Amino acid sequence: MLRGERTGFFYGNYKVLYLVGTGTFARVYRAAHKTSGQLVACKVLRRRFADDKEQAERFCREGEVGVTLRHPNIVPIFEVGMEAGTYFMVMEFIEGRTLREFMKAREKVDPVEATRIVTDIAAGLTYAFDRGLCHRDLKMSNILVSSRGISKLVDFGLAAGDKNMSDD
């Protein structure tokens, strides 16, 4: 990793295959479980934030919240870990793109498809809300549209419980 190589290393039981995307706070890799071969997404907190207690706690909170959410329109998180000072979470790998990329590629979406996307998003948000969570960072890049046309919410890092919902 120190040499900038992005493959051939592990986070927990998952071997990194390649870099999928980068954000301000984390990188996302496609990875495979070392024995079962299950393909997953592995989100890794950038090293410069691992020493920042607030950022590390936020990252871990996202993972802890995600592990409790199981809905067809929310990307499930399977595992949250820390190894050698590096925080990571393992989640379902979604073949597809973000809603931002989807809209940019399509430019125009027919009403039936747009309704399905909005219905999927609303279903995921309702499920989370019914469990006392508010997403608080809903944006096009935090919605994934799978290659099968199913929209899924990701990144509950700013999610708040009931006691905090009135703070906004």
List active site positions. Answer: 137
Question: What token pair was written down for 109?
Answer: 């979406």
Question: Residue 93 gets which letter from DSSP?
Answer: P
Q: Answer yes or no: are the C-beta atoms of 76 and 69 closer than 8 Å.
A: yes
CB atoms within 10 A of CB 102: 19
Dump strand ranges (E) for 23-150: 26-33, 39-45, 77-83, 86-92, 96-98, 143-146
Question: What token pair was written down for 139?
Answer: 């944006």
Per-residue CA distances from 132 to 68, 135, 159 (Å): 12, 10, 10
